[in-house]
Structure 1
Amino acid sequence: MEDSKSDFHISFFKPTTEYARKNRNMVIWLVCVWAVAIFGFQIALYILEKPTPEDSFLKYDATWSQVKSGEATVSEMQDFSYAALSVLGKVFIQPQHKTALDNALSWSVFQIADSSQQAMIMAEIVNFETLAANITDIRDEAYQQSKLKLIAMVSPILGLSETDVRTKILPLELVSASVNSLSDEDIVLIEEAMPLYLIHNQSVLTDTKFLGFPFHYFYTAVFLLILFVVLCLIYCVRTDKINTRLNIVD
């Protein structure tokens, strides 16, 4: 006697019942809405974006040819230093770019300063480097005093105001070993770094503010989350209606 077997065949793409067909159609529709909301926005960002330089890049671009040729005026050297500090203040910067910009900044300071200033600045940079290498706590009084002294000495030379946030990192970026010249390697790295860190792809979707957020932040962090919850709610409500229509009782 042969065993009777029940053959259950369930396929999402080939539903065999009206309920399964309605459920499939609804799931496909909801997934399509979700996909368009995510990938459509990314495509729109890509289509609308255009490279937009920061003000610091414009300063760099206007002065760099004179700086690397050694023919820059004091004002041009200050603008270049401003741009270099703008990059050095960023959170993520590749080590080789940081080294090149540190060297260029230190060289720029000594190009602007007169001989008496150069001697005092060099002595304080060496002192600060020694303190920085030996401290265990950045609140160390001697370290902090040396840092403030360097800021006070170098900020006026670079034309930085006391309230400019760039002055806070200035002592950390000056190096005593690279004040006499700007190497060819540093020049190549600087030309690579400046557009990398100071030119950004922007569009109306990134520049528009909505509820205090850049619109693309709001869209990806808030709107898509709300949309996901709404789609889940729609699925639940529609499923209940389908069950009622087909007399299906859970």
Structure 2
Amino acid sequence: MNEENQFHISFFKPTTERARRNRNKVVVLVSIWAIAVFGFHFLLKAIEKPTPEPVLLEFNKVWDKVKADEASTAEMQVFAKSVLQVTGKVFIQPNHRAAFNNGLTWATFKLADSAQKVAIKEALVDFEKVAKNVEMLTDDKYQSAKSKLAALAAVPLGLNSNELIAKFLPLELRSSMMDSFSEKQKAVVAEAMPFYTIHNQSVLTDTKFLGFPFHYFYTAVFLLILFIGICWFYSYSTDRINKKLGIYE
């Protein structure tokens, strides 16, 4: 080694045999890691296909008639149930939720007969008053008002009040939205439904491995094991190179 280079260290231009071997090893291991991580994601994107949930398929069957206000009772019930299922998702944009609530409330009152409308409206107004001032969701008055509204509103929608989906119904009905369902809100619903019910899927996401979807197992478990394996191999091979070159630390 030239005296002027004895303190020069460069990963890309190693000046010793040990540094050269270390560079080559690091390049190989980083390449393996990059291919394992990014290659898998590129593969996911390459073979994925937009797949609608069953709820969207049901919604699409009746939406044109609902939009034109020509839906039968059964079709209106399908529409209301579809919207209600989507509102149960965790993250819903505020403008989308408002449109869903409008459509659901409008459909509920459109399906109800005159006596049911009076009873549902009274229970809904009462529930909104209680919910506005409630401090704990376990409050007896709140739970009673909620259960009463769920039982009444479930009937015109063809739901059993004991069904889980029916228990969400009081949370999505709005007394201010029962009379009309504007074209603007209909457009929002038509745009929002696919947004929440179409997911990219492929054989990598649908296949189960050790009880997990394969893509989840690969990214959450296999890549972690691979990283640990790469670290172990780097340490092991470095020790071997040092011994081979007579370098002891």
Q: TM-score, normalised by structure 2?
A: 0.96
Alpha-carbon shift at residue 160 of structure 1 (Å)? 2.2
2:181 aligned partner, one-letter code: L
Deviations 1:181-227 (A, max 9, x none): 11122111101100000111111111111122111111111111111
CA RMSD of aligned residues (A): 1.4
Task: Give 1:156 shift.
Answer: 2.7
Residue 214 of structure 2: aligned partner: 215
Q: How far, CA to CA, are the matches of 1:71 and 1:63 in structure 2?
A: 10
Query: Which whole-Å CA distance do the structure 2 matches of 1:43 and 1:222 have between them?
Result: 19
Of 4-13 and 32-41, the range deviating more from structure 2: 4-13
In the alignment, what sits opposite 2:9? 10
1:109-162 deviations in whole A, cap 9, x for unaligned?
A: 011111110110000000000000011111111110111111111223212234
The secondary structure found in structure 2 opposite 1:51 is strand
- The 8 Å contact of residues 154 and 161 in structure 2, kept in 1 or not, is answered as yes
Give 1:24's aligned residue.
Answer: 23
Unpaired runs of 5+ in structure 2? Answer: none
Identity of aligned pairs, percent?
A: 52
Aligned residues: 247
> One-letter code of the match for 1:37?
A
Q: For residues 102 and 135 of structure 1, what CA distance do their matches in structure 2 show? A: 21
Distance (whole Å) between structure 1 residues aligned to residue 106 and residue 28 of structure 2: 62
| Aligned residues of 2:161 and 2:167 also touching (Cα < 8 A) | no
Q: TM-score, normalised by structure 1?
A: 0.95
1:108, distance to aligned residue in structure 2 (A): 0.4
In structure 2, the residue matched to 1:72 is: 71
Q: Deviations over 1:30-71 (max 9, x none)?
A: 000000000001001101100100010001111111001110
Counterpart in the other structure of 1:129 = 128
Return the alpha-carbon distance in structure 2 between the equivalents of residues 184 and 37 of structure 1: 49
Query: Which letter maps to 1:192?
Result: E
The answer to whether 1:90 aligns with 2:84 is no
Letter of the 1:241 counterpart: R
- 5+ unaligned residues in a row in structure 1: which ranges? none
Please give the secondary structure, in 2, of the residue aligned with 1:169. Answer: helix
Aligned-partner residue type, residue 89 of structure 2 = K
